[in-house]
Chain A
Amino acid sequence: MVQAESSSLEPVAKRVYSYYPGCSLHASAKEFDVSAKLVCQKLGIELRELEDWICCGASAAHSTSHLLSLALPAHTLKQAGEKGLPLAVPCAMCFSRLRITLHELKKKETLDLVSRTLEKELSTDVTVESMLDVLANESISLPVTKPLERLKVACYYGCLLARPPEVIGCDDAENPQTMDRLMGRLGAEVADWGLKTSCCGAGVSFPRLDIVLKLSHRILSLARSTGADCIAVACPMCHANLDMYQKDMTAKHKEKTNLPVLYFTQLMGLALGFSPKELHLDRHLTDPLPMLREKGLA
Chain B
Amino acid sequence: MSRIGVFVCHCGTNIGGVVDVPKVVEAAKQMPLVVFADENKYTCSELGQASIRNAIDEHRLDRVVVAACSPRMHENTFRRTVAAAGLNPYLLEIANIREHCSWVHSDHDEATVKAIDHVQMAVAKVARHEALFPKTIGLTKRALVIGGGVTGIQAALDIAATGHEVVLVEREPSVGGRMAQLDKTFPTLDCSACILTPKMVDVAQHPNITLLSYSEVKEVRGFVGNFEVDILKKAKMVDHSKCTGCGTCWQKCPGKVSSEFDLGLGQRTAIYIPFAQAVPNKPVIDLENCRYQTFLKWDESQGGKKPPECRICEKICPTKSIDWEQQDEIVTEKFGAIVVATGFKTFDHSVYGEYGGGRYPDVISSLQLERLMSAAGPTEGEVVRPSDGAHVKNVVFVQCVGSRDDRVGRPYCSKVCCMYTAKHAIMLKEHDPDVQCYVFYIDVRAGGKDFEEFARRAQDESGAIYLRGRVSHIYQDGKNLKVLGEDSLIGRPVEIEADLVVLATGMEASDNADTLAQTLNISYTIYNFLIEAHPKLRPVETQTDGVFVAGSAVGPRDIPECVAHGSAAAVKAVALLSQDSLKSDPLTSIVDPMKCVGCFACKVVCPFNAIEEQVTRDKRTVSSINENLCKGCGLCVVACRPGAINLRGFTSQQLLSEVLTLVRE
Contacts from A to B (Cβ < 8 Å) = 172-175, 192-195, 198, 222, 225
* A196, chain B: closest CB distance, angstroms: 10
A192 to B473 Cα, complex, angstroms: 16
Residues of A within 8 A of B475 (CB): 193-195, 222
Is B359 part of the binding interface, using a Cβ–Cβ cutoff of 8 Å? yes
Query: Which residues of the partner chain A approach B354 to less than 8 Å between Cβ atoms?
Result: 174
Given A225-B477, A225-B478, verify A194-B353 contact (CB < 8 Å). Answer: no
Q: How far does the alpha carbon of A198 sit from the alpha carbon of B354 in the complex, in Å? A: 11
> Could you name 24 residue pairs across A and B whose Cβ atoms are closer than 8 Å?
A172-B353, A173-B353, A174-B353, A174-B354, A174-B357, A175-B353, A175-B357, A175-B359, A192-B359, A193-B475, A193-B476, A194-B356, A194-B473, A194-B474, A194-B475, A194-B476, A194-B477, A194-B482, A195-B475, A198-B473, A222-B475, A222-B477, A225-B477, A225-B478
Residues from chain B with a CB closer than 8 A to the CB of A192 are 359
1/0 contact string of B473-491 vs chain A (CB within 8 Å): 1111110001000000000
- CB neighbours of A173 from chain B (8 A): 353
Q: Which residue of B lies closest to A196 (CB)?
A: B475
- A222–B481 alpha-carbon span in the complex (Å): 12
The minimal Cβ–Cβ distance linking A57 to chain B, given in whole angstroms, is 29
B359 cross-chain contacts in A, Cβ below 8 A: 175, 192
How far is A19 from B474 in the complex, measured between Cα atoms in Å?
A: 38
Determine the chain A residues whose CB is within 8 A of the CB of B477 once the complex forms: 194, 222, 225
Closest Cβ neighbor of A198 among chain B residues: B473
Whole-angstrom distance between the alpha carbons of A222 and B476 in the complex? Answer: 9
Cα–Cα distance between A198 and B476 once the two chains are bound (Å): 14
In the bound complex, residues from chain A placing their C-beta under 8 Å from that of B473 are 194, 198
Chain A residues within an 8 Å CB radius of B357:
174-175
Chain A residue nearest to B475 (CB atoms) is A194
* Binary interface encoding of chain B residues 459-483 relative to chain A, with 1 for a CB under 8 A from any of its CBs, else 0: 0000000000000011111100010
User: Interface 1/0s, chain B 151-181, versus A by CB < 8 A?
Assistant: 0000000000000000000000000000000
Query: Which has the most chain A C-beta neighbours within 10 Å: B357, B473, B477, B478?
Result: B477
With A175-B357, A193-B476 given, can you name 20 additional A-B contacts, CB distance below 8 Å?
A172-B353, A173-B353, A174-B354, A174-B357, A175-B353, A175-B359, A192-B359, A193-B475, A194-B356, A194-B473, A194-B474, A194-B475, A194-B476, A194-B477, A195-B475, A198-B473, A222-B475, A222-B477, A225-B477, A225-B478
A278 to B475, CA, bound (A): 37
Question: Smallest distance from the beta carbon of A231 to chain B beta carbons, Å?
Answer: 16
How many whole Å from B357's CB to the nearest CB in chain A? 6
How many angstroms between the C-alpha atoms of A194 and B357 in the bound complex?
Answer: 11
A111 to B476, CA, bound (A): 44
How close is B130's CB to chain A, nearest CB, in angstroms?
Answer: 59
A280–chain B nearest beta-carbon distance, Å: 33
A152 shortest CB reach to chain B, Å: 16
Distance in Å from the Cβ of B409 to the closest Cβ of chain A? 16
- Which residues of B have CB within 8 Å of A195? 475
In angstroms, Cα B356 to Cα A174, docked, is 8
B183 to chain A, nearest CB (A): 30
A156 to B595, CA, bound (A): 78
| Residues in B neighbouring A193, C-beta threshold 8 A | 475-476
A198 to B495, CA, bound (A): 15
- Shortest C-beta distance, A124 to chain B (Å), equals 27
Chain B residue with minimal CB distance to A175? B353
How far in angstroms is the closest Cβ of chain A from B356? 7
Report chain B residues within 8 Å CB of A175.
353, 357, 359
Query: With a CB–CB cut-off of 8 A, which chain A residues contact B474?
Result: 194
Per the bound structure, the CA–CA distance linking A194 and B474 in Å amounts to: 8
Report B-chain residues with C-beta under 8 Å of the C-beta of A172: 353
Measured CB to CB, the nearest residue on chain A to B482 is: A194
Q: For the complex formed, measure the closest distance between the CB of A165 and the CB atoms of chain B, giving whole angstroms.
A: 10
Give the Cβ gap from B91 to chain A, nearest Cβ, in Å: 59
Q: Give A173 to B407 CA distance when docked, in angstroms.
A: 14
Bound together, the chains give a CA A192 to CA B359 distance in angstroms of: 10
- Docked complex Cα distance between A174 and B472 (Å): 11
Closest 3 CB pairs of A and B: A194-B475, A174-B353, A174-B354
Quick one: which of A194, A198, A222 has the most chain B CB within 10 A? A194
Q: In the assembled complex, how far is the CB of residue A210 from the closest CB belonging to chain B, in whole angstroms? A: 15
A98 to B474, alpha carbons, bound, how many Å? 31
What is the minimal beta-carbon distance from B122 to any residue of chain A, in angstroms? Answer: 48
Q: In the complex, which residue of chain A has the Cβ closest to the Cβ of B477?
A: A222
* C-alpha spacing A203/B478, complex, angstroms: 29
Most buried by B among A173, A174, A175, A225: A174
What distance in Å separates the Cβ of B453 from its nearest Cβ neighbour in chain A? 38
The contact string, 1 if C-beta is below 8 Å from chain A, for chain B 433-475, is 0000000000000000000000000000000000000000111
Q: What are the residues of chain A within 8 A of B482 when measuring CB–CB?
A: 194
Once bound together, how far apart are the Cα atoms of A198 and B475, in whole Å?
Answer: 11
Give the complex CA separation of A175 and B476 in angstroms: 13
Chain B positions 468-524 with a Cβ under 8 Å from a chain A Cβ: 473-478, 482
CB distance from A106 to the nearest CB of B (A): 23
Complex Cα distance, B474 from A246, in Å, reads 25
CA distance A153 to B289 in the complex (A): 38
Residues from chain B with Cβ under 8 Å of A194 in the complex: 356, 473-477, 482
A-facing residues in B327-381 (Cβ within 8 Å): 353-354, 356-357, 359
Q: Considering only CB atoms, which chain A residue lies closest to B354 in the complex?
A: A174
- Shortest distance from the beta carbon of B516 to any chain A beta carbon, whole Å: 34
With both beta carbons as reference points, the residue of chain A lying nearest to B474 in the complex is identified as A194
Q: How close is B351's CB to chain A, nearest CB, in angstroms? A: 10
Minimal Cβ-Cβ distance residue in A for B355: A174
Instruction: Give chain B nearest CB distance to A166 CB in angstroms.
Output: 12
Tell me the smallest distance from the CB of B92 to a CB of chain A, in Å. 55
Within the assembled complex, what's the spacing in Å between the Cα atoms of A193 and B475? Answer: 8
| A194–B482 CA distance with the chains assembled, in angstroms | 10
Quote the shortest CB–CB distance from B21 to chain A (angstroms).
47
Chain A residues, CB < 8 A from B356: 194
Say how far B481's CB is from chain A's closest CB, in angstroms: 9
Q: How far is B479's CA from A256's CA once the two chains are assembled, in angstroms?
A: 22
In the bound complex, what is the Cα–Cα distance between A192 and B477 (angstroms)? 11
Question: Closest CB-CB distance, A162 to chain B, in whole Å?
Answer: 10
Q: Which residue of A lies closest to B352 (CB)?
A: A174
Closest chain B CB from A293 CB (angstroms): 29
Residue of B nearest to A225 (CB): B478
Which of chain B's residues have a CB closer than 8 A to the CB of A174?
Answer: 353-354, 357
Question: How far is the CB of A251 from the nearest CB of chain B, in Å?
Answer: 23
Residue of B nearest to A192 (CB): B359
Within the complex, the shortest CB–CB distance from B363 to chain A, in Å, comes to 11
Q: Which residue of A lies closest to B481 (CB)?
A: A194
Per the bound structure, the CA–CA distance linking A162 and B478 in Å amounts to 24
A194 to B481, CA, bound (A): 10
Cβ–Cβ < 8 Å partners of A222 in chain B? 475, 477
Who on chain A is nearest to B484 by CB? A198
Considering the chains assembled together, what is the distance between the CA atoms of A192 and B476 in angstroms? 9
Q: Closest approach, in angstroms, between the C-beta of B354 and any C-beta of chain A?
A: 5
CA distance A198 to B353 in the complex (A): 13
Q: How far is the CA of A195 from the CA of B476 in the complex (A)?
A: 9
A193 to B473 CA separation, bound complex (whole angstroms): 13
Q: How far is the CA of A173 from the CA of B482 in the complex (A)?
A: 19
